[in-house]
């Protein structure tokens, strides 16, 4: 399995994203339709470019090929020059194709991905400017994007609160989301790993307390997804993909923190999340999307399959008696290889397929949310976890 995944990373995913590089205006092109027509003048999501920068930084660290660091540097320079708001601080939501601001919303989620990318680029390159910029975004989040209860969502250019359409779905408008929590924790884990900053550690500890006290629902064995400001859940929704992703990302945060008592307290939560999605979302070959009000969405989303492969493999590594988790990881990879990977030249993964593997032709191959972060990370995690 891991040899196939390494080959897939080096021969499919990396060449595809190298081909999206924009050498005229910087960064990476923002849209490739299902028909494989590239729109060079499409919106460039700052999340997309952050995630690509993160991807190439980590690909360089895993594979050691100098050209990958050059791709990461290209992404870093675009972030530094165009994604940052040099007047009010923070990172914009999106840019025009030429790097000028388009959507100047400041979203906590987006600041977090900036930290994630810049911290990884610093780890790969040792460029102190990248670490300095990552720390600046950490302070933006802590000083402008939260209240005493936790992290808020969307803001105007000058950090006045605004409605959260970008991360609200399923007919609700959330003031706090599990998704933003998860990716702030993810970003802080990367930043703490490379900086050792005590304040970052304090905030990670606080986030893990929040998971235990507010987000995790022990009676339903899941995280709640959308909240009002007081953490009342707004909808009966089980996001299978986010729970399997959270399980291994929280385990990684615990590993980086190295606090034994904390791990003993929090690890049963991640084990419970994995156990429940194994029962509810895994059908023996692939992984469903979510369950709203008791109705399962059977679509097979690209990122959900990728996170399930890592999440089940991580759970097996933590308890080798759980052979079913290793088998689930392997079987989902077989499904991905056969049905989710787009075998057409000049493509990568389909956005989503049905439970039988038939792709939905109305979904693009690249757009601001469709990136190499989930599937590329899956490949690199499996490679790293099988070395030695």
Tokens of 268: 């049963």
Angle between helices 302-318 and 373-385 (to 10 degrees): 20
Beta bridge partners of 81: none
Tokens of 34: 């299902």
Helix (H) or strand (E) segment spanning residue 270: helix 260-280
Tokens of 200: 């970052």
Instruction: Walk along the chain (388 residues) and give the pLDDT tens digit of each residue.
Output: 999 999 999 999 999 999 999 999 999 999 999 999 999 999 999 999 999 999 999 999 999 999 999 999 999 999 999 999 999 999 999 999 999 999 999 999 999 999 999 999 999 999 999 999 999 999 999 999 999 999 999 999 999 999 888 777 778 889 999 999 999 999 999 999 999 999 999 999 999 999 999 999 999 999 999 999 999 999 999 999 999 999 999 999 999 999 999 999 999 999 999 999 999 999 999 999 999 999 999 999 999 999 999 999 999 999 999 999 999 999 999 999 999 999 999 999 999 999 999 999 999 999 999 999 999 999 999 999 998 5
Q: Render pLDDT for 165-215 as a digit per residue (tens, 0 to 9).
A: 877 777 888 999 999 999 999 999 999 999 999 999 999 999 999 999 999
- Enter the DSSP assignment of 318: H
Q: Do residues 33 and 363 touch, judged by C-beta distance below 8 A?
A: no
Tokens of 336: 């991905």
Separation of alpha carbons 343 and 359, rounded Å = 12
SS3 content of the chain, % helix, strand, coil (to 5): 55, 15, 30
Helix (H) or strand (E) segment spanning residue 47: helix 46-63
Q: Do residues 365 and 36 touch, judged by C-beta distance below 8 A?
A: yes
Q: Which of 310, 309, 239, 313 is nearest to 276 (CA)?
A: 239
Separation of alpha carbons 92 and 204, rounded Å = 24
Query: All domains of the chain, ordered by start, with CATH?
Result: 2-381 (1.50.10.10)
Angle between helices 178-195 and 198-210 (to 10 degrees): 150
Q: Which of 240, 261, 381, 258 is nearest to 317 (CA)?
A: 381
Q: How far is CA 328 from CA 291, 300, 313, in A?
A: 20, 15, 8
Q: Do residues 338 and 285 touch, judged by C-beta distance below 8 A?
A: no
Separation of alpha carbons 50 and 115, rounded Å = 9
How many residues can be counted in the chain?
Answer: 388
Arithmetic mean of pLDDT over the chain: 97
Helix (H) or strand (E) segment spanning residue 300: strand 300-301
Separation of alpha carbons 142 and 305, rounded Å = 32
């Amino acid at each position: 399995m891991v040899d196939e995944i390494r080959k897939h990373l080096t021969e499919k995913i990396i060449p595809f994203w190298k081909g999206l590089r924009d050498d005229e205006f910087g960064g990476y092109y923002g849209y490739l339709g299902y028909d494989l027509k590239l729109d060079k003048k499409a919106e460039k999501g700052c999340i997309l470019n952050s995630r690509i920068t993160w991807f190439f930084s980590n690909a360089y660290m895993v594979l050691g090929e100098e050209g990958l660091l050059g791709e990461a540097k290209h992404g870093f320079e675009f972030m530094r020059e165009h994604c940052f708001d040099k007047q009010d601080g923070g990172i914009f939501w999106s840019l025009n194709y030429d790097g000028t601001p388009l959507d100047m919303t400041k979203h906590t989620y987006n600041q977090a991905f900036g930290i994630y990318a810049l911290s990884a680029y610093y780890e790969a390159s040792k460029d102190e400017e990248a670490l300095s910029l990552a720390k600046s975004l950490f302070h933006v989040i802590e000083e402008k994007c939260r209240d005493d209860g936790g992290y808020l969502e969307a803001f105007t250019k000058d950090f006045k609160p605004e409605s959260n359409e970008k991360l609200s779905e399923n007919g609700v408008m959330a003031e706090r989301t599990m998704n933003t929590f998860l990716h702030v924790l993810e970003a802080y884990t990367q930043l703490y790993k490379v900086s050792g900053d005590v304040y970052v550690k304090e905030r990670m500890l606080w986030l893990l307390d929040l998971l235990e006290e507010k987000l995790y629902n022990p009676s339903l064995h899941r995280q709640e997804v959308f909240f009002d400001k007081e953490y009342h859940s707004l909808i009966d929704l089980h996001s299978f993909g986010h729970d399997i992703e959270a399980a291994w990302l929280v385990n990684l945060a615990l590993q980086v923190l190295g606090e034994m008592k904390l791990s003993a307290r929090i690890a049963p939560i991640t084990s419970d999340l994995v156990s429940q999605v194994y029962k509810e979302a895994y059908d023996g070959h692939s992984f469903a999307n979510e369950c709203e009000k008791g109705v399962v969405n059977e679509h097979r989303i690209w990122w959900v399959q990728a996170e399930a492969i890592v999440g089940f493999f991580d759970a097996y590594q933590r308890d080798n008696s759980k052979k079913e988790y290793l088998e689930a990881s392997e079987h989902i990879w077989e499904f991905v290889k056969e049905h989710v990977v787009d075998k057409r030249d000049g493509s990568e993964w389909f956005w989503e397929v049905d439970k039988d593997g038939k792709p939905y032709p109305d979904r693009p191959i690249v757009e601001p949310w469709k990136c190499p972060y989930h599937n590329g990370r899956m490949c690199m995690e499996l490679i790293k976890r099988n070395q030695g």
